[in-house]
Structure 1
Amino acid sequence: MKHLILVSFLVLGSMISSTQAYSTVPEQVIGKKNLQLTSDKMTPEVLWSFGRLGDVQVSPDGKTLLYGVSYFSKEEDKGNRDLYTISMDGSSKKQLTKTPESEYGAIWQTDGKKILYLSSKSGKSQIWSSNPDGSEAKQISYEDGNITNISFSPKGDKLFFTMDVKVTKNVHDLYSDLPKANALLLDDLLYRHWDNWEDTYFSHIFVANYAEGIVSDSKDIMPNEPYDTPLMPFGGIEEITWSPSGNQIAYTCKKQFGKEYALSTNSDIYIYDLETGATRNLTKGMMGYDRSPLYSPDGKKLAWLSMERAGFEADKDRLFIYDFETKSMEDYSKEFDYSPSSMNWTPNGKEIIFVCGINATFQVYRLTLKNKKFEAITKGDHDYHSVALAGDYLVGTKVSMSKPAEIYKIDPKTGKETEISFENKEILSQLEMGKVEKRWITTTDNKKMLTWIIYPPHFDASKKYPTILYCEGGPQSPLSQFWSYRWNFQMMAANDYIIVAPNRRGVLTFGQDWTDAVSKDNGGQCMDDYLSAIDELKKEPYIDGDRLGAVGASFGGFSVYWLAGHHQHRFKAFIAHCGVFNSEMEYATTDEMFFDNWEKGGAFWDLDNKVAQKSFASSPHKFVQNWDTPILVIHGGKDFRIPYTQGMAAFNSAQLQGIPSRFLYFPEESHWVLHPQNGILWQRVFFGWLDKYLK
């Protein structure tokens, strides 16, 4: 399968930007503009003008940071990514590349004397090298395919990279006399995944020699295997790692094919020995996702993340450690009810630093191995996307609902955070952001639910405002302090709406019981949670209870369709993006079957399965006869998780009943909207619909 290359600045869930998708060389280099705004309120054009920063790499001496920033052009409908360095104190910022091709995946050479990165300047994505100041850039790999990830061995004499290789046969291999035939011949499931059709190619790890600035003698360590590493569709370099000795590579892979792959989350940690060429499965018998391996500094231990329950992609990520000397493994997070990510061993091997979601925020945490103590280093209303060690400090990228990603230096002893990058300072200084508030709402079953309230800029409590209920996707994803380039709460608020965003049953970061509560009950308590939040907030004198709307994407789109049949005249407008309308049809047409098997409890044709039958009975299409409110439906043609026919069915049903409705269809977009002009169009149609019925 073609490995999806994403330059991702998370909003777990769920919000992705890909500059590499736009490979046509623009007439001029797209970069930062000197933007002078005429209003202090956000517009779609301003939103697409922010620099999207990420992939921070610390130099070997801990003094310099290497990172990438993407900018987009509305006029050219493209994006471009360039590389930068900056000192740990925020000084000496330097742009290393300024080309139209996008540079990404940048790393430091082991001795810090060179920088390696990926570029498609030669027509294929290959490894390039430059001095740390960007000078003397040159191509140093000449592989047949497109290289995706790169990493140096500890000694610097080797590196690994990933690249798609052809493994299985297509119709042209089987019928060579029909070279112009355009067809897929399918005998198994998972013939398409997320936004790619099966193309007989799989992402493999290659090990190569590196000497005198040249990459040579590359070797596929997964020959003829019809499996991908990193995991499709969103895995990255964190799923592959060198041992400190450089003699082993640990990697994540789900070594299953077809229907077996579609029905399973059983990925494992494999260890490849460079000397013998042997590969062994370290986590055999652990049936959920196992991923993100990381060797301890002395190489005696390996940490990784492991989900316990097979088939459940939103289970708690347990932090396991394997001891190579005792050949034993242990769950270090039995008493910790949250999921780590972005793990780092401290140099002495006594602690692990990581990022973790807690109560709708993402903080930097420390695990002390000796006593299994988990301790928050940072606090506040923000989301850290990543963390890394840099000498006596930590560095990470952080966002909030009011600010896109920037680099921060963190004192691990005090938790003090200092911004370093200031990439978007000029735009932010010209904007007035709305107040973000959190409230704890009492639900129908007497639980406390954190709900974010986002107010318009220049909010006036003496006025009455139209208000939007935001329905989170997933259904298991974090409704945290994310910054999105589509579902941007400050963008919504800038259009003079109050936003109510409840952390309903199923969202992450509130413990596993809260997350589990949405499964097999998609039309149950979580829907009551939505209504509890909006019913409580509309009591406020500044919220106009006669001008309420509900919006959402993915499971949020399912939620909107479901609410449309049950809302009892609460709402005056709905917007559903890439949502499930008919759960039975979605079950039969989605890609990863394990997801619906877990969420619904089984197949809709299993009439003796009471759990599954209850789940499918709550499908929104079964209540479409109750629809009575204007609805905008949005869908992407390349969305293979929730096929676009779901949007067609919802729109057609509204039209046939005479309900005011529109269908915004993007043939080239998937579950996301990645192209600048499509993104701006999305915003204009979105707010045009809300304004028509709520203003």
Structure 2
Amino acid sequence: MKKYLSLIFLIIFISVTISPQSKRVITIDDLWAMKRIGSYDISPDGKTLAFTLTSYSFDTNKGNTDIFLIESDGKNLRPFKNSDKNEGEPKFSPDGKSIAFTRDGQIWLCNVDGSNEKQLTNIYSEASGFKWSADGKKILFVSSVYPDCLTQDCNKQKDEAKDQSKVKAQIFTQLMYRHWNDWRGDKRSHLFILDVASEEFKDLTEGNTEDVPPLALGSQNDYNFSPDGSEIAYALNPEFSKATSTNIEIYLLSLSAPASPKIISVSKGVDCQPVYSPNGKWLAWSSMKRAGFEADKKDIILFERNTGKMKNLTEDLDRSVEEFIWSPDSKTIYFTAQNEINSSIYKLDIENGEITLFHKDNYNTNIQLSKDGKTLFFLKQRATMPSEIYSLSTDGKNTLRQITKINENLLSQIEMNSVETFWCEGANGDKVQSILVKPPFFDPAKKYPMVFLIHGGPQGAWEDNFHFRWNYQMFASQGYVVVAPNPRGSTGYGQKFTDEISGDWGGKVYTDLMNSYDYAVKNFSFIDSKNTFAAGASYGGYMINWIAGHTDRFNALVSHAGVFNLESMYGTTEELWFPEWEYGGTPWQKREVYEKWSPHRYIHNCKTPVLVVHGAKDFRVPEEQAFQLFTSLQRLGIESKFLYFPDETHFVAKPLNSKLWWETVYDWFKTHMK
């Protein structure tokens, strides 16, 4: 009887602990307790995966990356390289007997059980982004060097002289002297080749004054060996120093005979991601047609190596290709593309050109195939789950398997709602899709305040993903309904829809957004129309600044890294092709456009409290934009607050800074709740 009662109590205890009522809302601590999968690789036999896992700490205020192994059936998760140092980029050798990885800026090699560790490179300028040749005898890697230095001693001497000099001044003679969050300096990223047996390395782009891979607009796959190892293909922008060119080209360099690299791409836009077919017959790459436009449609170009003939394989697909891979038999290409709120996986038949939607839902990236071509691996995330490794059979049976479950225990304790979507009529009668996320423990009979999120880009989109900075669940956890529209300019809805924001930053897109807002307030009875708030970053911050001068719909606004004065922004940002495309030219050529769409010209109409957020190391939208905005708000007597991060960039990346960001935003909304 005693055992029987104990069993009953145990059953009751288990049922209570897993019941929905026992769950809780997500917290800032939860967000930073979640481990993040980065890169991964598959063993040649397809049985084992190596992947990186980053854990963050509030105590150290940073992350630490380790390498783990797991079987492809999801069993036997185990640490491979787990230390207080950052280990990354695990890649199995082609014979499957060893794994190479990076640590302390060098490439290391060891057995698959982690034993017999050996440092492959000892290069002063450090090595990263490495790739094996098919025979395992060579490795490509990149390193940042002074173009005029022919030895590593030269690089070291120049660095030491710079560090020891009491004069820190710099002289610039051309643009692109800084980029994103770094002063560019005199170094350039060069492509090196390493002989694994001798451990000798050589600079393949010696003397080149431009970067391989390109400093911007390229991909994570911008150089590769040919299958026979006799040639490499790489991407480089020969005009990048002008800061106005997006003309990345594809180069071929013979390794079997002395020769100069030759350009094979023909587009004046971005050509990158050159990938050889396994049979060596073709080289494919992604390509944009229009010069000067960073968000043009990306197609897959097929280049026949023997004849030089080219073909656009995705000409008729109204989606923009992101990453792609070849099947082992060279008959199929798998690729990802933004597809409404999803990053979907597509399958392309090389022979007949047929494209089929292979896997639609959620946000899928980092696609890889097993060596036998029978299993597709990828990272999947959605609004209720950070990235995990999944696999899908390629035999048409669509057998989907979740391999890793890194954050399963923590996620099981948290109440979160999946994304829903709704469509409304935007400008010109076009349909606009919005994401809606309900707060945890949602009660349809109650009224909830709304947070209206505006994405950046502007050629970007809100997606079904788990964003670690602008996280739907973190906003919803405070009892808000989250509405995140994809207005004009958003990707995943065809190139025409994407194009229609250029030259019209506060026009149709503003109509799309306000129509989405009005539709949500009118059609969802659980939204409290008296308590609505809006927030956005980058272009989203621009639109918040535009909203401040054009409507009083919202209780309060959050402008993070927002563009405020288009003309001064032009003079302080770094990638000039962006404003010159978006506004049709320079401020002196298109002054009326810059004036028409600049939020600073309308800020005197503002009646809404604004929280301004900016990082000092943001060179994309420089801090002077925030200074001007906050000064204007203060002089106008508008309630405003300025959260300034002297150690952050365009993004808030440090754990403790992120915690302050969330707490400040939460408090701002709460303060202005009616």
Query: Shared fold by TM > 0.5?
Result: yes
Cα distance in 2 for partners of 1:284, 1:331 equals: 12
1:207 to 181, 193, 218: 193
Deviations 1:311-346 (A, max 9, x none): 000000011000012211111111111122221111
Question: How many residue pairs get matched?
Answer: 643
Asked if the contact 1:252/1:270 (under 8 Å) is kept, the reply is: yes
Are the structure 2 counterparts of residues 558 and 694 from structure 1 closer, same or farther at C-alpha, using a change threshold of 3 Å? same
Instruction: Please tell me whether residue 59 in structure 1 is matched to residue 43 in structure 2.
Output: yes
Cα distance between partner residues in 1 of 2:343 and 2:569: 32
Q: What is the match of residue 648 of structure 2?
A: 669
Taking the aligned partners of 1:639 and 1:564, their CA distance within structure 2 comes to 23
SS of the residue aligned with 1:538? helix
Letter of the 1:204 partner, please give it. H
Partner of 2:288 in structure 1? 307
Q: Is 1:519 matched up with 2:508?
A: no
- Does 1 or 2 have the higher relative contact order (CA < 8 Å, sep 6+)? 1
1:594 aligns with 2:596: no
1:228 aligns with 2:211: yes
Matches within 5 A, 1:34-45: 40-45=24-29
- Conserved 8 A contact 2:390-2:403: yes
CA 1:493–1:670: 2 relative to 1, 3 Å: same
1:531 is paired with a residue whose SS is: helix
Of 367, 375, 390, 1:393 maps to 375
Q: Is 2:488 aligned against 1:505?
A: yes
The structural deviation recorded for 1:415 is 2.7
Unpaired stretches in structure 2, ≥5 consecutive residues: 1-20, 150-154
Does the CA contact (< 8 Å) of 2:218 and 2:272 recur in 1?
A: no
Q: Which residue, 628, 638, 659 being the options, matches 1:649?
A: 628
> Is 1:291 paired with 2:272?
yes
After superposition, where does 1:455-470 map in structure 2 within 5 Å?
Answer: 455-470=438-453
Contact 1:360 1:510 in 2 (8 A): no
2:638 matched residue in structure 1: 659
Q: Give the alignment's Cα RMSD to 1 decimal.
A: 1.9
Q: 1:572 aligns with which of 555, 560, 563?
A: 555
Partner of 1:195: 181
Asked if structure 2 preserves the Cα contact closer than 8 Å seen for 1:149 and 1:236, the reply is no
Any gaps of 5 or more consecutive residues in structure 1?
1-36
Aligned equivalents of 2:474, 2:444: Cα separation in 1: 20
Distance 1:514 1:223 in 2: 43
CA deviation profile, 1:40-91 (whole Å, cap 9, x unmatched): 1011111011110021211111221111010000111010011011111111
1:429 corresponding residue in structure 2: 412
Q: Which residue is equivalent to 1:9?
A: none
CA shift, 1:379, in A, is 2.4
Residue 354 in structure 1 maps to residue 338 in structure 2: no
- Verify the 8 A CA contact 2:134 2:227 in the aligned structure 1: yes
Residue 515 of structure 2 is aligned with which of 532, 536, 542?
A: 532
1:267 is matched by which residue type in structure 2?
A: I
Give, in whole Å, the separation in 2 of the partners of 1:316 and 1:558.
24
What one-letter code is carried by the residue in structure 1 that aligns with 2:174?
Answer: D
Matched, 1:149 2:132: no
1:259-274 equivalences in 2 (<5 Å): 260=242, 262-274=243-255
Task: Quote the offset at 1:423 in angstroms.
Answer: 0.6
Letter in 2 for 1:518: I
Structure with greater helix percent: 2
For 1:438, which of 417, 421, 442 is the aligned residue? 421
Matched, 1:216 2:196: no
| 1:449–1:504 contact (8 Å) kept in structure 2 | yes
Q: Which residue of 1 aligns with 2:303?
A: 322
Q: TM-score, normalised by structure 1?
A: 0.90
Return the alpha-carbon distance in structure 2 between the equivalents of residues 416 and 454 of structure 1: 29
Over residues 591-618 of structure 1, what are the superposed CA-to-partner deviations in whole Å (9 max), with x where a residue is unaligned? 0100110011111112xx4xx6234311
Q: Secondary structure at the match of 1:526?
A: helix
Q: CA deviation at 1:241?
A: 0.7
Matched, 1:109 2:93: yes
Distance 2:514 2:444 in 1: 23
Contact 1:168 1:201 (8 Å CA) reproduced? no
Partner of 1:681: 660
Report the alpha carbon displacement of residue 694 of structure 1 after superposing the two structures with TM. 2.5
Offset of residue 137 of structure 1: 2.5
Query: Shift of residue 278 of structure 1?
Result: 2.1
Match of 2:614 in 1: 635
Taking structure 2 as the reference length, what is the TM-score of the superposition? 0.93
Classify 1:472/1:168 alpha carbon distance in 2 versus 1 (closer, same or farther; 3 Å).
farther
Moved more, 244-253 or 476-485: 476-485
* Structure exhibiting the larger radius of gyration computed from Cα positions: 2
Deviation at residue 255 of structure 1 after TM alignment: 1.8
Q: 2:526 aligns with which of 532, 542, 548?
A: 542
